[in-house]
Amino acid sequence: MGKVIGLFGVLALFGALAYVGLTAAYRLDMMDIGQIFNILQYMTVGLVGLGALSLGGGLLALLRVGAGTGLFALIAGVAALAAASGPMMMRAQSSQVPVIHDISTDIKYPPVYYAVRDIRAADGAHNSTEYNPEDGAKQLAAYPQLRTLSFDKPYEQVFAASIDVLEAMGLEVIDTEENAGRIEATATTIWWGFKDDVVVRVNRFTAPVEVDIRSNSRVGRSDLGANAKRIEIFMRKLEQAL
């Protein structure tokens, strides 16, 4: 029994390490994200199965075999299930949001990207910075709360506060043009290193000053709601700051 439980533990740990390896392969540009997700569709099922078997076996081993084998199997089972949780959460989120990856508070005249275009091209971004008007209706249905913000404050104060908020959110500010009222920044996810580009437009010719923000993912047909969430956070923090 101990050898069988130990084998479950080894396989579960190998599966968890394989998941980490896929992440590394993507971040090192060794594999395309499409290839990664195709593999994960099948790997996730295996990780869940091995994780459950390893956990169950580990508990049994603690009672009948020995602490060493039991603890190893438990740790390996937890690692496998933790690895499986990422893809499972992504799949669950994808079923709850529209299949879009470009979100703007102004869908009629969305803010325009300039500085990040060359960066995206060099990075091999799959998605264009050209806004697709067909996404507007999907966005309005899913995220009606996203809207242009207005502030009865001096333009310079609003512009500076927008930069501060982006930096406080952990984004890398790529370019600022105060005369044009444009701020471009990039957000990078911790685990996969996915990059989403943000452009903020501060309109100095309106009274009160109007602020719009757009967030566009470099890869993926669906952003799993990440861009809308980022915009909501920006809106809330900017309102608090001003």
Condensed to tens digits (0 to 9), the pLDDT of residues 43-69 reads 898 899 988 989 888 787 777 655 677
- Residue 121 CA to residue 218 CA, distance in Å, equals 10
- Residue 61 CA to residue 178 CA, distance in Å, equals 65
* End-of-domain residue from the set 94, 128, 156: 94
- Residue 104 CA to residue 123 CA, distance in Å, equals 22
- For residues 215 and 116, membership in a common domain is answered with yes
**Is 8 a residue whose pLDDT tops 80?**
no
Q: pLDDT (tens digit, 9 = 90+) per residue, 95-148? A: 788 899 999 999 999 999 999 999 999 988 889 999 999 899 899 999 999 999
| Identity of the amino acid at 153 | K
Sign of the Cα torsion 64, 66, 72, 74 reads positive
| Identity of the amino acid at 133 | P
- For residues 138 and 185, membership in a common domain is answered with yes
CA atoms within 13 A on the CB side of 173: 16
| Percentage, residues of the chain above pLDDT 70 | 96
- For residues 124 and 234, membership in a common domain is answered with yes
Q: pLDDT (tens digit, 9 = 90+) per residue, 13-22? A: 888 999 888 8
pLDDT (average), residues 197-225: 95
**Is 167 a residue whose pLDDT tops 70?**
yes
Contact 192, 198 (CB under 8 A): no
- For residues 87 and 106, membership in a common domain is answered with no
Structure confidence at residue 201 (pLDDT): 98
pLDDT band at 2 (very low <50, low <70, confident <90, very high): low
Q: DSSP code of 114?
A: -
Report DSSP letters for 217-228, one per residue: ESS-S--TTHHH
* End-of-domain residue from the set 94, 124, 140: 94
Structural domain that includes position 164? 102-241
Structure confidence at residue 157 (pLDDT): 97
Structure confidence at residue 66 (pLDDT): 58
- For residues 84 and 133, membership in a common domain is answered with no
**Is 158 a residue whose pLDDT tops 90?**
yes
- For residues 48 and 119, membership in a common domain is answered with no
Structure confidence at residue 79 (pLDDT): 92
Number of domains in the chain: 2
**Is 84 a residue whose pLDDT tops 80?**
yes
* End-of-domain residue from the set 94, 120, 148: 94
Structure confidence at residue 67 (pLDDT): 67
- Residue 237 CA to residue 150 CA, distance in Å, equals 14
Q: Is 237 exposed, middle or buried (0-12, 13-18, 19+ CB in 10 A)?
A: middle
- Residue 1 CA to residue 112 CA, distance in Å, equals 63
β pairing state of 209-217 and 149-151: antiparallel
